Amino acid sequence: MRVISGTKKGYKLKGPKGKDTRPTEDRVKESLFNILRNIDAESRVLDLFAGSGSIGIEFLSRGAKKSYFIDKSYESIKCIKDNLEHLGFIEKAEVIKSDAIKIINMFKRKGIKFNYIFIDPPYGQHLILKTLEKICENDILEDIGIVIIEHEKDLILEDNIFNLIKTDYRNYGYKSLSFYTKK
């Protein structure tokens, strides 16, 4: 695993120990950022179910202002912090050990909204719709923000979910990416 572009291009990233995480493959990550194109320097990013933090870190390497990393695994949190420290991104990040769905309420209370929200929950636990419902209910996505969901290919997500509309869908072997914006 590595940073594929930006100021930290080529830097290697650690992954959490164990088999509980599925790091986003470099080819999927590269395609994701080719679709997004340029990342605004004022962007705030939310990396839910963050694992190694590679997606939020990639956003930072490409110029995002701040990334929030959420995971409930101690191993993942330690790994994310190690990666951020290694890359010099500690000041541009907030790492929170918490349940990804429950933490969304805190962002609402603090008035924090995101330009990009990346969701890559454990497969087979039906967390995507719960997470999207909480995001919409708490209105933490900027009006021109984008929600990106990495999910198993066999899971077909509706074109309209809550107040979100699917704007793009890509398939990569056994994984897929679905992109949503506000209606």
Looking at residue 68, its pLDDT comes to: 98
- pLDDT tens for each residue of 80-134: 999 999 999 999 999 999 999 899 999 999 999 999 999 999 887 889 999 999 9
Q: How far apart, in Å, are the Cα atoms of 36 and each of 54, 124, 147, 176, 179?
A: 16, 27, 11, 15, 10
Q: Is residue 11 part of a domain?
A: no
* Dihedral angle over CA of 165, 142, 33, 10, nearest 10: -150
pLDDT (mean) for 14-37: 81
pLDDT range class, residue 22, cuts 50, 70, 90: low
Q: Is residue 180 part of a domain?
A: no
Q: Is residue 71 part of a domain?
A: yes
- pLDDT tens for each residue of 39-63: 999 999 999 999 999 999 999 999 9
Looking at residue 20, its pLDDT comes to: 61
Count the neighbouring beta carbons within 10 Å of the beta carbon of residue 27. Answer: 11
* Residue 19 scores a pLDDT above 60: no
Instruction: Count up the domains in the chain and report the number.
Output: 1
Q: Is residue 97 part of a domain?
A: yes
* Of 27-36, 42-51, 55-64, 158-167, minimum mean pLDDT range: 27-36
Count the neighbouring beta carbons within 10 Å of the beta carbon of residue 96. Answer: 16
Domain of residue 49: give its range: 26-145
Quote the tokens at residue 117.
């929200």
Looking at residue 143, its pLDDT comes to: 96
Q: Is residue 157 part of a domain?
A: no
Mean pLDDT of the chain: 93
Q: Is residue 39 part of a domain?
A: yes
Q: Is residue 66 part of a domain?
A: yes
Q: Is residue 175 part of a domain?
A: no
**CATH for 55:** 3.40.50.150
